[in-house]
Amino acid sequence: MLNNYSTADKVLLAVDCIIFGFDHEGLKILLIKRDIEPEKGKWSLIGGFLRRDESLDSAAVRILNTSTGLNDIYMEQLYAYSEIDRDPVDRTISVSYYALINIENHNAELIQNYHAKWFSINDIPKLIFDHDDMLQHAIGRLQYKTSIKPIGFELLPEKFTMRQLQELYEAILSKELDKRNFISKINSLEILNKLDEKDMQSSRKGSYLYTFNKEKYEEKLLNNFALNL
């Protein structure tokens, strides 16, 4: 039993935020240029160190806001990275968080005062330390959850077309989906509200717009349903 804290090794605890965004160009990841050595000037996930007076969740919120200006972003804790040599400066454990946001709702904040930048998920620069591994882990988790549960509505506008929803899933899963099969599975879940409005930019006849029914979705979650795309 540990009865003397002074004899225990002390290690640094970092928090890294993996922020996915979606727009008409596809799925993207938010990165910043590191402003300290080592690896100064290279692209990095958004990270910082845990303070004595905060929880991991609070640290993730603070670090994201300090680096990007983003507020009110729900983030989910993903994984802990504890390889001994993962940080060349000091023994550091990192806990990663990931989130999904609609770029159009937040991009102005990023442009004004910060140096964060969106990169296509298919064109990501080399990242510092083990951040490439963190990102791939997050992509894998996102793809798994998307294949079994309807997620990602945070990435879409309030009103969206079925085609926009399919394009989002195809971007996350990195594969094409059969249109009829996708629509059939989504409609069978009864978690969308079909509106009388149409998006007239998509075609001459236009495409019906939908909204997400959060109450029905939460009811489905209680029954442990699966999407199985």
Q: Which amino acid is at 191?
A: I
Mean pLDDT, the chain, whole residue set = 89
Of 10-19, 79-88, 125-134, 180-189, least confident by mean pLDDT is 180-189
- Model confidence pTM above 0.95: no
Q: What is the architecture, at CATH level 2, of domain 158-222?
A: Orthogonal Bundle (1.10)
Q: What angle do CA 170, 26, 72 make, to 5 degrees?
A: 105
pLDDT digits (tens, 9 = 90+) for 109-130: 665 567 789 999 999 999 999 9
pLDDT digits (tens, 9 = 90+) for 44-94: 999 999 999 999 999 999 999 998 888 888 899 999 999 999 999 999 999
Q: At the topology level of CATH, where does 12-148 sit? A: Nucleoside Triphosphate Pyrophosphohydrolase (3.90.79)
Indicate the domain borders of the chain.
Answer: 12-148, 158-222
Residue among 14, 30, 149, 150 at smallest CA distance from 99: 30
pLDDT at 112: 56
